[in-house]
Amino acid sequence: MKFCSECGEKVHLGVPQGDNRPRYICASCETIHYQNPKMVVGCLVEHENKVLLCKRAIEPRYGLWTLPAGFMENEETTMQAAARETLEEAGADVEITQLFTMFSLPHIDQVYMLYRAKFKEVVFSAGSESLEVGLFSESEIPWDKIAFPVITESLKRFFADKKSGQFQIHNGAMFKQLENQQVSFHVTVLDEH
């Protein structure tokens, strides 16, 4: 952010009175521009022991596999956002059944939320942001070609819960770590519910 979106003058970084964090401030019209994390919301659609994955047709991670998910929009609910993204990216009309994972990703200022869902009809097709869409069992999933660590983490927890016979709500955070030029993630979760 370089200019004030209200008056067009240059902004500067400063800590407003009564605040404790630097914000972009407009000296001309005195607007304080807050920046907050975004929610990415999607679905884990289950059908006959398989889950619906999309092969990305867009950057980042073009050509890798993910669950249908995207940025929540204004004027919608998390459940509506999850169903909309699943329709847009995977051509699937689904019923949301339960919150499954919610991971904070503080290194990219996102909260990633996935719902369990089932098909209203078993119909799916690649949307404009997908090259290909398909149903995969645990052993069929291309585990080395998953687009994002939070998707791998969520899929692993899904199949583990499925084996245990009890689906939980997994709420936690994934912290990016860099050690010997290797990126890894430290995962913390609250006591499972």
C-alpha–C-alpha distance, residues 111 and 115, integer Å: 13
Of 118 and 136, the one with the shorter C-beta distance to a second copy is 118
Q: Tell me which of 54, 83, 99, 147 binds a second copy, using CB under 8 A.
A: 99
Question: Least distance to a second copy from the beta carbon of 51, Å?
Answer: 19
Of 128 and 182, the one with the shorter C-beta distance to a second copy is 128
C-alpha–C-alpha distance, residues 156 and 152, integer Å: 6
Q: In a 3-state reduction of DSSP, which class is residue 39?
A: strand
Q: Measure Cα distances from 107 to 85, 173, 176 in Å.
A: 23, 10, 7
C-alpha–C-alpha distance, residues 73 and 77, integer Å: 8
* 1 contributes a contact to a second copy by CB under 8 A: yes
Residue that has been written with the tokens 């964090």 in this structure: 21
Residues in 58-97 that interact with a second copy by CB under 8 A:
71-80, 96-97
Annotate 76-88 with DSSP letters as a single string.
Answer: --HHHHHHHHHHH
Q: Tell me which of 67, 83, 102, 155 binds a second copy, using CB under 8 A.
A: 102
* 171 contributes a contact to a second copy by CB under 8 A: yes
* 54 contributes a contact to a second copy by CB under 8 A: no
Binding residues (CB under 8 A) for a second copy: these are: 1-11, 18, 21, 33-39, 71-80, 96-99, 102, 104, 106-107, 109, 111, 128, 169, 171-173, 190-191, 193
